[in-house]
Structure 1
Amino acid sequence: MLNTLFSKIFFYSFLAITILSCKDTKKQKEEHKFTNSLITETSPYLLQHAHNPVNWHAWSNTALENAKKEDKLVLVSIGYSSCHWCHVMEKESFEDEEVAKIMNANFVNIKVDREERPDVDQVYMTALQLIKGSGGWPLNVITLPNGKPIYGGTYHSKEEWIKVLEKISTLYKNDPKKANEYADMVSQGIQEANLITPSSDYESLTKKVAKESVENWKNVWDTKKGGDQSQEKFMLPSNLNFLLDYAILTGDKEVENHIKNTLNKIAFGGIYDFVGGGFYRYSTDPSWKVPHFEKMLYDNAQLLSVFSKAYGAFKEPIYKEVVYKTIEYLERDMKNPNGGYYAAMDADSEGEEGKYYVWKKEELENTLGEEFTEFKSYFNITSENIWEHKNYVLHRGITDAEFCTKNKIANSKLQASKELWKKLLLTERGKRIPPRLDDKIITSWNALLITGFTDAYNAFGDSSFLDMATKGITNLLNNSLKNNELRHSYKVNSKQVKGFLEDYTFLVDASINLYSATLDTKYLDLANSLNSKAMTSFSDDSSGMYRFNENKDLIAQIIKTNDGVIPSPNAVMAQNLLRLGHLNYDKKFLDKSKSMVSAMVPMITPNASSYARWNSVLLNTTYTYYEIAVVGAKAKPLVKKLHNKYIPNTLLVGSTEDSKLPLFEGRYVPDGTYIYVCRDNSCKLPVETAEAAIKQLNGF
């Protein structure tokens, strides 16, 4: 039935879109010819449109009710502050008085920051994908007064946009019946796209499913350049985390080589900012050389985890360098002075993409002086690597060890040179006009960063990273937890909306991780409390999953199961239930987690790259899952040492005092500290050293 429905949607479709990824406008002048209601908002993206001649409104029930009263179509335009093509369309169309006149006369115009209202974005992006099969931002949909979409598109030139506006307006006036029939089909399609059949087929949860999933995935791997075969490459941390775990658990050398090669290519490529640290959003080429220059908190947060875990597994120096420099960037450029971390930095400055980050050869020569010769060799500053307008994007091709051998220099000399290069270039770059910051503090993204800081602490033992994690969670709780309910984002005087499923699940995950690292039970209590709230507020009985949002005021409910640049909140929920089930000895949680994963098996096998977090939970379920409990006065240093080696499928916890928690009960003795290595409620004899515990793990 669904295929028939999609065919009808394609047949009736008015859509003509261009797939585009997602800039910046020049600073507003003090005098403005136009001001609309967005001027009262705090979202940087909405404020950027506050002086358009278009009579924009923020998403609200009032705006939608006005559309019904006036029997006007609703134009919903969705984007975000660092979206390049959003700002191109603003300049070409939304700042144009001719276009604005058409929009104001025929539509109730609503601007949405997708980072503030990801639920609205999910609903209308699903509609766009049903109609066309793909989408992007800006996301522009035209709906009936009831919110059901009759048109969807991304970027359009001014001429194309005027044609769309006139065509859809005329259609609605002349043939409202046809418009309503089409809108009903699209809305039905959104609902059916979220249909998931609950399952309790635990027998389907096998190692074979994970293996088949990976074997199918291998067919599209780029074994030379890393990642998947594609003209543009996203880093997709959920994929990297799963492949890292799979390689370690299975001993599959092909997977291990691929994950190492991918991480190396990312770290060597222009997608990593050598000068200032941190990662850009994606690569515009297959070799990771030239990025789209926006920097997103969620990418950098998750890549801290990936590279920290990879260092714990493989001890590659480049992974440590990347983690430390990325944290330096986050602390320097993305941290709010009062706590919390900003959402994004724009790709553009002074109206040009990447201008803040790229270099002309003459600039490099003048800044580096006699250091330029070695620098030039290290970063392949040759005519073949020139980007636009005689600019260079810094990237490298070989490891430091290979460079030292090739150039007959000591590694210590190279490392000192690199630090000097970074210092000189960062100082020079600081004289430029920086990109615009989106200063929202998003709960789910900050939760990912708390986990990133914690994973970095586990890998390197640097107490400053743990301090960042604990301060980060304190800031979130102070600003975004109201009456035991999370808010999605925070900014001074902002209109906070209720938290979404991702806010709860990511923060539960971060809390469990912090509990494991600190041994402080307040984080376990927080995890249990937030998890209970999520189960109550977001549960969807018909699918056995959890809804994206708590309210039911949109045209459809979204059950988000696939990963994107951030993991599926349902997959994270399943993993949280599994971990809390082990911590609390709660079989209901373990069974719920299994039922959620079993429902996803039909999707996991053919689509591993879109369901990697589910595959991670599948690994937790099908491979031996260890519980390591360290009990005694000296538990903290032992836990810290055990964390230093990354071991997937392991829940590591400790207590320095007598505890009634199931993993510790009856195991505390005043005059010793012991490590209990367990699986399925069966434990080895207690040991006193980390080395002995790891040996037991290998011998299970």
Structure 2
Amino acid sequence: MTQIDQAWKTQPDIVTKQAEHVTKAIRASQSDDGGSDEPVELNQAMVQRVASALSDQFDPQYGGFGYSAANPDRPKFPEPANLIFLLDRMSRESVSQADRDEAQSMLVKSLDGMISGAMVDHLGGGFHRYSVDRRWQIPHFEKMLYDNGQLASVYARAYEKTNNEEYRRVTERLCEFVLRELKAPGNAFYSALDADSEGEEGKFYRWTDEEVTELTESIDGFADAAKIYRLVGKPNFEGEYFAPDPRGTLSDIAKERGESYTALDERLASIRQRMFDIRSQRERPITDTKILTAWNGLMIAGFADAGRILKKPEFTQDAVRAAEFVISELADESGRLKRSFAGGKATLNAYLDDYAFFTSGLIALHRATGDERWLLLARKITDKQIELFWDDRQGGFFFTSSDHPELIVRVKDPIDGAIPSGASVSAENLMYLADHSPKSDYQEKLKATLQAMAPMFRRAPAGVPRIAAVLAAYLDPTTTPHP
């Protein structure tokens, strides 16, 4: 730094010139198409690349993605974008029956895997952030709003496709957890629950051998529940504690016992409630009380999807109330958004994710209620997003707005991770709005967004599953609509 400071003082012209070269190089590296202005042909081979990449990364034994024999205990994340792609593919009639069956098998294996271990909170509902092992056995105990918002939609849609009653109950308990523990005054949602309490990872969620023994002695039927949730034998967490971990879905366990899932689940309900009540007396993990527009958008969509598919209008109303908070506290009359609300004040320019995810929530509300209000608001927010984020030269959306403080270059963020890409969700929104706004230019913007993202299907196909589902629907609009 001293040398740079000295060079700036003595040779500012040379330093400025070098900075310009560096800036140009960074901008070139951000180019989606290597500088070509030729439109990219969109085709089914691009979707197939994504399907093949996910198949290569799939863990056939425990479900999920990213397993490597060379590194078998790498963390495993839910990756909802992958699951959304599989939900679309398993229903798409233009895909071969073998490919549809493979997609459904991968989806079910992953969904079942996550609820077979301790990734899901069997007592309080909702999902933890990720598993520290391949088997979904022990999680990092943090609970994130963005995970649970997406997984509410995924499990509800999976229930719709499979009629698996356990998926329905997982969705309901997830929503009940969010309402109980992440709902803020004003009806929006806080961001997260920490993993630690009293300075220790997972202390709120774990059980000692002494506690298990006391429960066995004091609760009728607990001994059988302890076997089901593997609270017996060798401790599964840090060598001395238990985390409920049935190592199978309750549906499979019930089948092995010759009873229905519903009967087993109802029999275990009172025992889970007793354990939940005891756990609730412990010191709780810290709540991250920021209200983020983007993450609330994902949770609004989750509640709206759950309400619509499960025929639970109360969940739809929870989505309505959260959306109304965002509209009143984080949006202005023109549709411009702020990113964060805390301490009674909205702050920070919103990013692409905030616009895209909130619009996705509004669209989910339109699907759930049929109320044109939500469609009009979705158009308004999207129109403002196009005004502020659209790339006039190459198409698609920048991550920051045109008047955002710029750091060398405006970048795009095309990759779906634990949080989906704003570009992917924007493409979903544009497709829905084009279908419901025939005189608009949303269809044109959708095509340009897909073309702008096309190079990623070649460079990193496993990183673009959510927009691949949009592309599949764009190329094959005659079958199951997306999402």
Q: How high is the TM-score relative to the length of structure 2?
A: 0.89
Q: CA deviation at 1:595?
A: 2.2
Q: CA deviation at 1:387?
A: 1.6
Whether the 8 Å CA contact 2:396–2:452 is kept in 1: the answer is: no
| C-alpha distance in structure 2 between counterparts of 1:340 and 1:470, whole Å | 10
| C-alpha distance in structure 2 between counterparts of 1:175 and 1:360, whole Å | 62
2:450 partner amino acid: V
Q: 1:320 aligns with which of 168, 173, 188?
A: 168
| C-alpha distance in structure 2 between counterparts of 1:215 and 1:567, whole Å | 20
Within-5 A mapping of 1:123-522: 190-197=26-33, 201=39, 204-230=41-67, 231-249=74-92, 250=95, 251=97, 252-368=100-216, 369-408=219-258, 411-484=261-334, 485-494=336-345, 496-522=347-373
| C-alpha distance in structure 2 between counterparts of 1:412 and 1:600, whole Å | 45
Q: CA deviation at 1:562?
A: 1.4
| C-alpha distance in structure 2 between counterparts of 1:225 and 1:201, whole Å | 41
2:168 partner amino acid: K
Whether 1:649 and 2:482 are equivalent positions in the alignment is yes
| C-alpha distance in structure 2 between counterparts of 1:309 and 1:288, whole Å | 22
Whether the 8 Å CA contact 1:304–1:453 is kept in 2: the answer is: yes
| C-alpha distance in structure 1 between counterparts of 2:378 and 2:255, whole Å | 50
1:545 partner amino acid: G
1:649 partner amino acid: H
Whether 1:553 and 2:396 are equivalent positions in the alignment is no
Q: CA deviation at 1:587?
A: 6.4
- Alignment partner of 2:347: what SS? coil
List per-residue Cα deviations over 1:96-131 (Å, max 9, x = no partner). xxxxxxxxxxxxxxxxxxxxxxxxxxxxxxxxxxxx
Q: CA deviation at 1:285?
A: 0.7
Q: 1:597 aligns with which of 433, 450, 466?
A: 450
Whether 1:524 and 2:404 are equivalent positions in the alignment is no
List per-residue Cα deviations over 1:577-612 (Å, max 9, x = no partner). 222112111363212211221232232245232111
1:207 partner amino acid: Q
1:583 partner amino acid: H
2:163 partner amino acid: K
List per-residue Cα deviations over 1:422-460 (Å, max 9, x = no partner). 211111111111111111111111111111011111211
Corresponding residue number in structure 1 for 2:71: none
Question: Measured at CA, do residues 342 and 568 of structure 1 come closer, stay the same or move farther in structure 2, by a change above 3 Å?
Answer: same
Whether the 8 Å CA contact 2:76–2:131 is kept in 1: the answer is: yes
Q: CA deviation at 1:349?
A: 0.8
- Alignment partner of 1:271: what SS? coil
Q: CA deviation at 1:172?
A: 5.3
2:482 partner amino acid: N
Q: CA deviation at 1:345?
A: 0.9
Whether the 8 Å CA contact 1:200–1:595 is kept in 2: the answer is: no
- Alignment partner of 2:345: what SS? coil
| Higher mean displacement: 545-554 or 273-282 | 545-554
Whether the 8 Å CA contact 2:166–2:251 is kept in 1: the answer is: no
- Alignment partner of 2:303: what SS? helix
List per-residue Cα deviations over 1:359-400 (Å, max 9, x = no partner). 112212323534332112212234445221511121122333
Q: CA deviation at 1:413?
A: 4.4
- Alignment partner of 1:497: what SS? strand
Q: CA deviation at 1:648?
A: 4.0
2:436 partner amino acid: L
| C-alpha distance in structure 1 between counterparts of 2:133 and 2:412, whole Å | 32
| C-alpha distance in structure 2 between counterparts of 1:311 and 1:200, whole Å | 43
User: Structure 2: any 5+ residue segments left out of the alignment?
Assistant: 68-73
Q: CA deviation at 1:563?
A: 1.4
List per-residue Cα deviations over 1:510-559 (Å, max 9, x = no partner). 22221222121111111111111111111222331222122242312121
- Alignment partner of 2:420: what SS? coil
Whether the 8 Å CA contact 1:199–1:595 is kept in 2: the answer is: no
2:66 partner amino acid: Q
Question: Measured at CA, do residues 194 and 391 of structure 1 come closer, stay the same or move farther in structure 2, by a change above 3 Å?
Answer: same
Root-mean-square deviation (CA, aligned residues, Å) is: 2.5
Q: CA deviation at 1:208?
A: 2.7
How many residues align? The count is 461
Corresponding residue number in structure 2 for 1:10: none
| C-alpha distance in structure 1 between counterparts of 2:417 and 2:260, whole Å | 42
2:231 partner amino acid: I
Question: Measured at CA, do residues 463 and 482 of structure 1 come closer, stay the same or move farther in structure 2, by a change above 3 Å?
Answer: same
| Higher RCO (CA-CA < 8 Å; seq separation 6+) | 2
| C-alpha distance in structure 2 between counterparts of 1:182 and 1:278, whole Å | 51
Question: Measured at CA, do residues 328 and 182 of structure 1 come closer, stay the same or move farther in structure 2, by a change above 3 Å?
Answer: farther
1:314 partner amino acid: T
Corresponding residue number in structure 1 for 2:432: 579
Hey, which bits of structure 1, 4+ residues long, moved more than 4 A?
169-190, 408-413
2:111 partner amino acid: L
Question: Measured at CA, do residues 170 and 247 of structure 1 come closer, stay the same or move farther in structure 2, by a change above 3 Å?
Answer: same
| Higher mean displacement: 344-353 or 474-483 | 474-483
| C-alpha distance in structure 1 between counterparts of 2:452 and 2:399, whole Å | 17
Whether the 8 Å CA contact 1:540–1:547 is kept in 2: the answer is: yes
Whether the 8 Å CA contact 1:199–1:596 is kept in 2: the answer is: no
| C-alpha distance in structure 1 between counterparts of 2:476 and 2:134, whole Å | 34
Q: 1:539 aligns with which of 360, 366, 390?
A: 390
List per-residue Cα deviations over 1:25-80 (Å, max 9, x = no partner). xxxxxxxxxxxxxxxxxxxxxxxxxxxxxxxxxxxxxxxxxxxxxxxxxxxxxxxx
Q: How much identity, in percent, do the aligned residues show?
A: 28
Corresponding residue number in structure 2 for 1:71: none
Q: CA deviation at 1:212?
A: 3.0
Corresponding residue number in structure 2 for 1:18: none
Whether the 8 Å CA contact 2:208–2:241 is kept in 1: the answer is: yes
Q: CA deviation at 1:234?
A: 0.8
Whether the 8 Å CA contact 2:146–2:295 is kept in 1: the answer is: yes
Whether the 8 Å CA contact 2:153–2:306 is kept in 1: the answer is: yes
